[in-house]
Structure 1
Amino acid sequence: MLLNFALKKSGVAVGLLNNYTTRVALTRNIHSNIKNLSEQDVKHIQEKGEFIIEVEGHKPAFLRYHKKESVEIDLYTTVVPPSMEGNGVAKILAKAALKFARETGLPVRPTCWYIDGYLARHPDPTIKVIPPEK
């Protein structure tokens, strides 16, 4: 009762409460956006050799590659910011990159540990995999 009275009397406290409520609602919305991501949300920037997912309120997640002449695609790094981890974002990036490899017909060299593990768990007979150099 006393707290309720203080909140009504103090415009600052009410403003803080409203601000907190808005932030909680926005956070829930952003997290639901992450859970609803698909390959359609991936942008492929060929000039940079990058697949990227951008979600408002988060740093971008990306997978980078080198296209070595017309011989192979080296998938060398996958980065997902901590705020997006555990939502299958790396898997979505991997699927998009492997679809690109399949469409170009080039073999893949998975020097990124995540991609190497992904291919071990999800072998794809339509993609030739070149083992990473040790």
Structure 2
Amino acid sequence: MEIKHDKQNQRFVLNVEGQEVYMAYSLDGDVMDLYTTYTPPNLRGKGYAEKVVRTAMEFAKENHFYVMPSCSYVAVFLQRHPDYTYLVKLN
């Protein structure tokens, strides 16, 4: 399964069974606001959202962006994967 970076719409997208799992973001300077994660109800609990968020985190790391975890799922992801917390932008 390949996660695609849709730069124009600022999303990381995974197509599963003809449906989209995605992480939407916005950029403001060097801050990447991860504000929405969506998984269709019938695909939840299978780890797809985690893969999409991990891809967004890796993109932030590779591009020297800070992350603002506005999405509640991203906050949970960071609790489960503290190795990414150094990317979080503190106010």
Answering whether residue 71 of structure 2 is matched by residue 98 of structure 1, we say no
1:67 corresponds to which residue?
A: 27
**2:89 aligns to what SS in structure 1?**
coil
Q: 1:83 is matched with which residue: 37, 42, 59?
A: 42
Counterpart in 2 of 1:129?
A: 88
TM-score, normalised via structure 2 length: 0.89
The unaligned stretches of length 5 or more in structure 1 are 1-36
| Inter-partner Cα distance in structure 2 for 1:97 and 1:63 | 7
Normalised by the length of structure 1, the TM-score is 0.62
2:5 and 2:11 in contact (8 A); partners too: yes
Structure 2: runs of 5+ lacking an equivalent: none
Q: Which has the higher contact order (CA 8 A, sep 6+)?
A: 2
What is residue 21 of structure 1 aligned with on the other side?
none
What is the distance in 2 between the residues matched to 1:97 and 1:84? 19
Deviation of the 1:130 alpha carbon = 2.0
Report which of the two has the higher share of helix: 1
Q: What's the CA shift for 1:126? A: 7.6
- Compare CA radii of gyration and give the structure with the larger one: 1
More strand by share: 2
